[in-house]
Amino acid sequence: MIVPIGHVLLLALILLLLGIACVLARRTLIMMLIGVEIMINAAGLVAVAGSALHRQLDGQILAVFLMAMTAAEVAISLAMVVYLRRRKGTIIADAFDGMKG
C-alpha cells in the first residue's frame, strides 16, 4: 500500500464524524440523508482499505454491495421525503412528531 493504513482510517474517522455532525446538526431531511451517505461511505472506505491491506477481495465486494445498497436506500428515502413534503409541506425533521408520547 502506498498510503499508510493509519491515514486512511483517520480520513474515515473524520468522514464519519462529519456525517454524524451533519445528521445531528442539520434540520432538513435531505441534509440528514446526505450525512447518512457520508457515514456509509466512510465505512466503505475502511472496507476498501482493509481489502488493500490484507490483499483480499472481500472488502471490495463489500464496498460494491454498499454502493448498491446505498443507491436503493437513497431511492426509497427520497421517495419518502417527497411523500412527507407533500403531506406537511415541509421537510424539517422535527415537524414530524407523531410519535410524541
Partner 1 sequence: MNPVLLALIPLLPLFSAVLLMLFGLRLPRLAVGTLAVGAVAASTVATLLLWPAASGDGLLVVLYAWAAVTGLDLPLTLHFNPLSAPMTLMVTLVSTLIHLYAVAYMAKEEDVVRFFALLNLFVFAMLLIVLADSLLLVFIGWEGVGFCSYALIGFWYQEGKNADAGRKAFLVTRVGDVFFGIALLWLFALTGTLSISAINAQAVLLPAATVTAIGLLLLLGASGKSAQLPLMSWLADAMAGPTPVSALIHAATMVTAGVYLLCRFFPLISLSPTALLAIATVGGLTAFYAATCALAQREIKRVLAYSTMSQVGFMLLAVGAGSVGAAMFHLITHAFFKALLFMAAGVVIHLADGENDLFKLGGLSRKAPQVAILLVIGALCLAGVPLTGGFFSKDAILLAVGAHPETAYKILWLLGIISALLTAIYTFRLAYLVCAGPPRTAIGHVASPGLVAPLWPLALLGLLAGLLNLPPLLGGGERLMHFLGPYAGLQPEVSHLAEFGQWGLAALLVFVGWRIARSRWSKQPAAQEGARIDFFRSGWQIDTLIATVLLRPFSALCRFSSEKIDKVGIDGVIAGLAQCCRFGSSSVLRMATGRLSTAVTSMTVGVLLLMVWGLWTLLLR
Question: Is 94 an interacting residue with respect to partner 1 (CB under 8 A)?
Answer: yes
**Among the candidate windows 2-10, 24-32, 60-68, 69-77, which touches partner 1 by CB under 8 A?**
24-32
Altogether, the residues listed in the chain come to a count of: 101
- Answer whether 28's CB lies under 8 Å from 92's CB: yes
Question: Is 76 an interacting residue with respect to partner 1 (CB under 8 A)?
Answer: no
Question: Is 23 an interacting residue with respect to partner 1 (CB under 8 A)?
Answer: yes
First to last CA, the chain: 53
Number of residues that bind partner 1 (CB under 8 A): 13
Closer residue to partner 1, CB minimum distance, 21 or 68: 21
Q: Using alpha carbons only, give the angle 73, 27, 24 rounded to the nearest 5 degrees.
A: 75
Closer residue to partner 1, CB minimum distance, 3 or 82: 82
- Answer whether 101's CB lies under 8 Å from 46's CB: no
